[in-house]
């Protein structure tokens, strides 16, 4: 196992081509475009709705059309890796191209992979997504901490070395998540709060925010946790999944400047027309701005 990763220094996490750590780059992007993060989720139902075949050609047309529409409208896109991986090596090749095109267009790419393992395996996953020399290098990834927060140290280390970011699953909206996330440890703290506290420690002292974030669902209702982690909060569930801008303002008002609101179906459902996709993004941006 690698040594535990300590607090990042504001200037020490930039990789080649990245003058600033991910947390600072994300801060600048959300100041410019607002908190909306547009999903790129090419699942079969959406491919069909767009009139595309459920094959690699349809996958590529879908993903690149989304990149075209979102460039200049949002600061961050979030491809869901599983919907590319289901096509095997050819699908992963499309994912590589999608990432490359998105980053070339000035978008930050947050890859939703939810990886989590230990030791050399975790390090290999981290190299795959966060190392500057990887063909699949992205700006940030989602990870699962339920082998212990320390098991994520290889991800945190690669992020610090190459200017990347890591979003740790903390409080998800799926009903089954509470079995683990809201379980209480000795002393009374929930597992989720322990994860959030650990992220806060690793972000300590970094301004305007650290590069280590947490995933907290928009449809949880009452937020029974301290989410002031000194880093970004990825909040899925807005829009088509039922979360409203008023819910977000109530739950995250104290940390709104650190919130990154993910929307996939609510935006992608307006495709395949580029103007339709851009219109959906602009409506969501205005809705989120009105809730502040």
- CATH code of 42's domain: 3.20.20.70
* Number of domains present in the structure of the chain: 1
- Give bridge partners of residue 64 from the DSSP assignment: none
The pLDDT assigned to 15 comes to: 36
216 domain-assigned: yes
Asked if 67 contacts 105 with a C-beta cutoff of 8 angstroms, the reply is: yes
The pLDDT assigned to 6 comes to: 45
C-alpha angle 89/91/94, rounded to 5°? Answer: 115
14 domain-assigned: no
241 domain-assigned: yes
9 domain-assigned: no
* Mean per-residue pLDDT pooled into runs of 10, the chain (292 residues): 41 46 98 97 97 98 98 98 98 98 98 96 98 97 96 97 97 87 88 96 97 93 90 90 86 94 95 97 95 78
Of 43, 100, 103, 114, which one is the catalytic site residue?
114
251 domain-assigned: yes
- Residue-number span of the structural domain to which 246 is assigned: 22-290
Q: What is the pTM of this model?
A: 0.92
The pLDDT assigned to 19 comes to: 60
Q: What residues contact residue 72 under an 8 Å CB cut-off, 6+ apart?
A: 105, 106
195 domain-assigned: yes
Residue 78 designated active-site: no
- Gyration radius from the chain CA atoms: 18
Distance from C-alpha of 171 to C-alpha of 215, rounded to nearest angstrom: 6
263 domain-assigned: yes
10 domain-assigned: no
């Amino acid at each position: 196992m690698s040594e535990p990763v300590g607090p990042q220094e504001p200037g020490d996490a930039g990789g080649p081509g990245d003058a600033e750590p991910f947390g600072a780059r994300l801060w600048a992007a959300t100041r410019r475009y607002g908190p909306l993060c547009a999903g790129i989720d090419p699942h079969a139902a959406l491919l069909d709705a767009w009139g595309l075949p459920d094959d690699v050609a349809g996958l590529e047309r879908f993903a690149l059309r989304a990149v075209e529409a979102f460039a200049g409208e949002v600061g961050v896109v979030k491809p869901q890796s599983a919907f590319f991986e289901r096509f095997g090596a050819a699908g992963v090749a499309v994912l590589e191209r999608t990432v490359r095109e998105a980053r070339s267009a000035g978008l930050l790419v947050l890859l939703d992979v939810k990886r989590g393992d230990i030791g050399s395996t975790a390090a290999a996953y981290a190299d795959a997504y966060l190392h500057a020399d990887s063909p699949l290098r992205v700006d940030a990834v989602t990870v699962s901490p339920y082998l212990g927060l320390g098991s994520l140290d290889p991800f945190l280390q690669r992020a610090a070395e190459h200017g990347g970011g890591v979003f740790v699953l903390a409080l998800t909206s799926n009903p089954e998540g509470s079995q683990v996330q809201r379980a209480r440890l000795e002393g009374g703290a929930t597992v989720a709060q322990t994860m959030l506290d650990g992220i806060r420690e690793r972000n300590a002292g970094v301004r305007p925010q650290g590069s280590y974030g947490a995933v907290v669902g928009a449809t949880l209702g009452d937020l029974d946790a301290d989410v002031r982690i000194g880093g970004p909060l990825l909040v899925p569930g807005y829009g088509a999944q039922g979360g409203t801008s008023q819910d977000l303002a109530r739950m995250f008002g104290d940390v709104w400047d650190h919130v990154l609101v993910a929307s996939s179906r609510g935006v992608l459902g307006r495709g395949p027309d580029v103007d339709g996709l851009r219109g959906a993004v602009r409506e969501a941006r205005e809705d989120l701005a009105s809730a502040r």
